[in-house]
A and B are shown apart, each in its own frame.
Chain A
Amino acid sequence: MAQTAAKVQTVIQPPVFTNPWSEGWRSFRSNKMAMAGLFMILLFIGAAIAAPYITTFDYKEQDLMGRLQAPGAEHWFGTDDLGRDIFTRIMYGARISLWVGFSSVMGSILIGTLLGIAAGYYGRWVDMLISRGFDILLAFPGILLAIAIVAALGPSLQNALLAIAVVNVPVFGRLVRAKVLSLKNEEYVTAARALGMRNGRIIMHHILPNCLGPVIVQGTLSIATAIIEAAALGFLGLGAQPPEPEWGKMLSDSRQFIATAPWTVIFPGLSIMLTVLGFNLMGDGLRDVLDPKMKN
């Protein structure tokens, strides 16, 4: 009898409350898809950082005797039409794609958030001016606008990055503006004003931190689209210039061998797909954590 009684007794642990961030991490960790996405991203980040230690080849070293070799023990992903090791080029290419993804989105977030807060918080003509600016940018299809900007500035990786950043500014601007409009009516913002706080302080302490959730979610998803856009610009010859191992460029350079040496296109294509998928999965996972109302 005593044994069964002991069995029935369960240990009820008091919930351990910490800060919102570590609670969010706990809930993120339990989301398998999001963790898979995070894993993919970490894999590519790892490859980008450790590239020189993993491979002994140079990404621009040509070997015209060993062109278009199939994947094998020496060249894991085979070689391209100039005999360069594709595995090496993929890893160095990860540096480019991740750099473009992160930095262009960082730029968009910085400028978009600034403009969005100004428009949402101050309203009236400030809002009018900024919002119409966003409308104009959004009137162009994103990639077309990016092409136009790069065409005007001259094809290079820097300009492609800049173009992608500009295209994404209104995405964040509108997101933040909408969030600020709803936060402005939150009672704690009124309470902050009732405590004699100035606009700058209210924005920095009470508005901005509460905007960050959706911005982080959108930022993660935007890295994915930025990587695709960078690859597209590279494919069109408007992004990174040879011999830089940019994935989109690699695709366009080898598309004539798609029938005879499919590995030359499969691996760059797969890399683009996996990083984009990784960021999308992680973005969805973050949305579940940071924006519970959007669930389902």
Chain B
Amino acid sequence: MAEPLMTIQNLQTHFVTDKGAVPAVDGIDLHIRKGEIVGIVGESGCGKSVTSLSIMGLLPKPAGTIAGGHIYFKGEDLAVTRERRMQALRGNEISMIFQEPMTSLNPLMTIGEQISESLRIHRRMSRKEAWRESIAMLDKVGICRAESIVREYPHQLSGGMRQRVMIAIALCCEPELLIADEPTTALDVTIQAQILDLMKKLNEETGTAILMITHDLGVVAETCHRVVVMYAGKVVEEGSVKDIFYKPRHPYTRGLIRSIPKMDSDGGRLYSIPGSVPLPGTITEGCRFAPRCEHAYERCRTEIPELQGEEPGHRSRCWL
């Protein structure tokens, strides 16, 4: 197995509110190897996005802070890295693309200027070189007429095109890790498939590892090598895509998989996990999923299980 590119150990990210610190991410462990695509799945509010912002050092200040744990990226602990160093890493070695392609581009700058900006900062390219490279990047992410698109403004492009531009910007400095925070949620299904194909293709060509944050298991099945399932700030199960889809162990993962609509279903009511995600910090004892779990018993409510598993690489946090 290849050396991990990034290892997260017991990461705790807290948000300070009027009622004290709320743990949005509560001790997660995660690793991603070079060239790997890892998916983080979970419902809204389970800490997926906070995890990615913690890695990037982009937590909203002053409310969000990393209260504990380590984020080792190529041997460097990002949890304690200073802002200046983070600025050199961001966009250069770790990039991020966002959910909303409609608002992620500056409306007053041309596409070319926005791609060039990153190249000029990190690669110290001249204006001309950066411009040429921008056109090449647009070509690479499958935008035809790249020559004329560089001169256009974001409002002249469709959502799918803009997301391609975002990917071009994120990948122009050949980062080793790309964090994609729900990259296809705002796009329609056909465009979604194209964008995912593009990301997979670029992953194979450039070897950029991708951390795919999503609530859509379909996206995971289509693109990822490994999956981490999060619930209420904790990792509840991790394993290969095959493990998760064919042999899910944690009741939460099973619930998620059961709630995917199937082609051969008889048109009855779609399954949904009863209840909703608890507010961060409200469950302090036992397994966090216990109140919604149909198999929960006494021990689940008092003791929190460890992440464990018999097979290598497939672990889950459940007493059963």
Contacts and interface: CB of A to CB of B under 8 A. Distances in A.
Interface residues of A, number: 21
Interface in A158-211: 186-188, 190-198, 201, 205-206, 209-210
B29 interface: no
A191 B166 contact: yes
Contact of B103 (A19, A20, A186): A186
Contacts of A195: 90-91, 95, 117-118, 121, 169-170
A17 interface: yes
B65 interface: no
Interface stretch (B106-114, B136-144, B193-201, B229-237): B106-114
Contact of A187 (B86, B91, B98, B121): B98
A19 B103 CA distance: 18
B153 A191 contact: no
5 smallest A-B Cβ distances: which pairs? A195-B91, A196-B90, A196-B91, A194-B96, A187-B103
Interface in B74-125: 86-92, 95-96, 98-100, 103-110, 117-118, 121-122
A13 B193 CA distance: 33
Interface residues of B, number: 33
A210 B156 contact: no
Nearest to B88: A196
A206 B90 contact: no
A194 B90 contact: yes
Nearest to A212: B108
Contacts of A210: 106-108
A280 B152 CA distance: 33
A124 B63 CA distance: 12
B211 interface: no
A196 B104 contact: no
Interface of B: 56, 58, 62, 86-92, 95-96, 98-100, 103-110, 117-118, 121-122, 152-153, 156, 166, 169-170
Interface of A: 17, 19-20, 124, 186-188, 190-198, 201, 205-206, 209-210
Given A194-B90, A194-B96, A196-B122, A188 B106 contact: yes
B103 A188 contact: yes
A198 B153 CA distance: 23
Nearest to A124: B62
Contact of B105 (A17, A124, A188, A193): A188
Contacts of B122: 196
Contact of A196 (B89, B99, B103, B105): B89
B121 A196 contact: yes
Nearest to A209: B108
Nearest to A206: B106
A284 B96 CA distance: 40
B107 A197 contact: no
Contacts of B166: 191
A143 B303 CA distance: 71
A82 to B, nearest CB: 53
Contacts of B118: 195-196
A22 to B, nearest CB: 11
A121 to B, nearest CB: 12
A198 B100 contact: no
